[in-house]
Amino acid sequence: MTASAQPSNVCAGSTVQLNAIPTGGSGTYTYSWSSNPQGFTSTLQNPTATPTNNTTYIVTVTSGSSTASASCSVTVDPLPSTPNDINGPVSVCIGSTNISYSVTSIPNATGYVWTAPSGFVIVSGQNTNNLIVNIGPTASSGNITVAGTNSCGSGPSKSLAVTVNPALVVSAGSTQTISSGSTTTLNGSVSGGSGNYSYSWQPSSLLQNPNIQNPITLPLTSSQTFTLTVTDNTTGCQGIATVQIIVSGGSLSVTASANPPTVCQGASVSLQATPSGGTGTYTYSWASNPYSSIPSTQNPTVTPSTNTTYTVTVTSGSNTASASCSVTVNPLPGNPGPITGSQTVCQGQTDVYYGISPVANATSYTWTLPTGAVISSGTNSNSILVNYSQSASSGNISVVASNSCGNSQQSPNFYVTVNQLPGAAGSISGPSTVTQGQTNVIYSVQPIDYATGYVWSIPQGFNLVSGLNTSTIVVNISSSATNGVITVYGTNNCGNGATSPAFTVSVQPTNINDIQNISCKIYPNPSDGKIYIDLKNNTINNLNITVFNSIGMIVWEQKLDNSSFYSLDLLNLADGVYYLQLKADSFNHIEKLIINR
């Protein structure tokens, strides 16, 4: 007595086929299944089960007054657990950068899948438990969501609702020109947000009260740029603006500044010339290294493509003064090249390599995989190892390179064909009772999905005649054959499928006295479908004739009278190979038949 489970290692929620294979006894069996942990029972020979954790199944078989037991075990790989609460701000501002959201490590997870609201830019951390995002100018409120993944798929998700607050629109007023030693009032304004604001002007040392909307300066002897920062006291969002106060009189001087001094490739920069002294009337001339054309205004806007130094020359009357400022340009990542790796894989295959050449200026990489595939190592790098689950499907792999300035274009798609394991074998067809000495007995199973080969197990004393590695076999029953079971499973390059339910065969001894004087002749063979059977010395009653096709299906049958000569009309059958069986209680004869017109 043996017991087996197919497959013996499954993902949570999957079904397994249990098989009881008895030998010996009377040939008539009853079955009783149980499990540890408890919860499963069945009286079928080959039931199915859906274990939720590692389980041992025990079957007890009774035949007459005898019993026998056997067991088999199933290992259950769990899906990732439900994540704990996500940590991170629930209220963010348009334009905020490097915002962190994290979750504690998820049990049974080998990877993480995050989703973010529209307009959130994932900077890094996809497939890890710590995500870094920037809040883009068009971002909207929504949920940050995370779920754990492993080779069995994705587990439950957890979400955090995040509110996106609009940016404040701040102005520090218009440029003013005053005489040396004079004071002036700065004119701040703000719109948007809750309306509950606080103000901070810099440099505060040049203001009577730097924490009001419209402060008065101290007497100024040189030109100055003032910066206003407004904070929404309800949301914490901020807005910033600057204003120039130009002081005339005295010797001519100028300062140059760039706002911001560090940008990403493709971003604009506002240049600022702040003159002091002179007549109060100024003209401006800008130059750059490397060269670019710049408008001759006080505060032009430029878009440098690389690190650049800008120099402004200010003229007031017959006097000139110059100053310089520099801008650092951080490049976007280059675009990924083609992906290399395995284009054909199997369900359940692990540690499959995929990679690209390192991308210029990239600090991280985000990979997109087919359904059922997860990264086992190499997250955020230019090469990864991938595990394919038992339910993985074919699809594209792609990658995007990233840095603090943004994302590259997506790489060309790399299509991966995921080949399936063979399907579970169905029930076996064929005679459940045979006779010692019987020949050309056919057993078959419906073609198994995705199978390229078949592995049969037959009882002791059954000799394979033909059909090795196919869905139909022909066997001879030896004089020493005993009761047993027949099973089959499909194979392909990816492995083995689930075994069929066990098919029990009872072997009867030959009654030599009843058949020793009977001679059987079937002709012509091959034929066009008109068949003749000649039984000399026939003493058999209730003789049945059955014709099977090459996969074991019955295509013709008839009960015959007690005669020695029969004529069969099989003209309606297609050309091909068939098996003709003559059978009675004490007689069984099978012969291969070819119809060929």
- Residue 394: the pLDDT is 95
Question: Is 551 a residue whose pLDDT tops 80?
Answer: no
pLDDT per residue as tens digits for the range 421-471? 898 899 999 998 888 889 999 999 999 999 999 999 999 899 999 999 999
- Residue 537: the pLDDT is 65
1-78 and 167-248: same fold? yes
Structure tokens at 444: 């078959």
Sequence length of the chain is 597
Looking at residues 551-579, what average pLDDT do you find?
Answer: 83
Question: Is 514 a residue whose pLDDT tops 60?
Answer: no
Which CATH code of 2.60.40.10, 3.40.220.10, 3.40.50.10310, 2.60.15.10 fits the domain covering 1-78?
2.60.40.10
pLDDT per residue as tens digits for the range 413-424? 999 999 988 988
Tally of CB atoms within 10 A around 493: 10
Interatomic CA distance for residues 266 and 222, integer angstroms: 34
DSSP per-residue letters across 520-574? EEEESSSBSSEEEEEEET---SSEEEEEE-TTS-EEEEEEE-S-SEEEEE-TTSP
pLDDT per residue as tens digits for the range 214-267? 999 999 999 999 999 999 999 999 999 999 999 998 889 999 999 999 999 999
pLDDT per residue as tens digits for the range 98-114? 999 999 999 999 889 99
Which CATH code of 3.40.50.300, 2.60.40.10, 2.60.40.2550, 1.20.1560.10 fits the domain covering 91-165?
2.60.40.10
Residue boundaries of the structural domains of the chain: 1-78, 91-165, 167-248, 249-330, 340-419, 512-595
Beta-strand pair 414-419/344-346: parallel
Q: Among residues 440, 389, 417, 463, which one has the least CA distance to residue 548? A: 440
What CATH fold (topology level) applies to the domain 167-248?
Immunoglobulin-like (2.60.40)
Instruction: Specify the residue for token string 């003229």.
Output: 315
Beta bridge partners, 560, equal 543
Looking at residues 504-515, what average pLDDT do you find?
Answer: 63
Enter the CATH code of domain 249-330: 2.60.40.10
Q: Is the distance from CB of 209 to CB of 183 less than 8 angstroms?
A: no
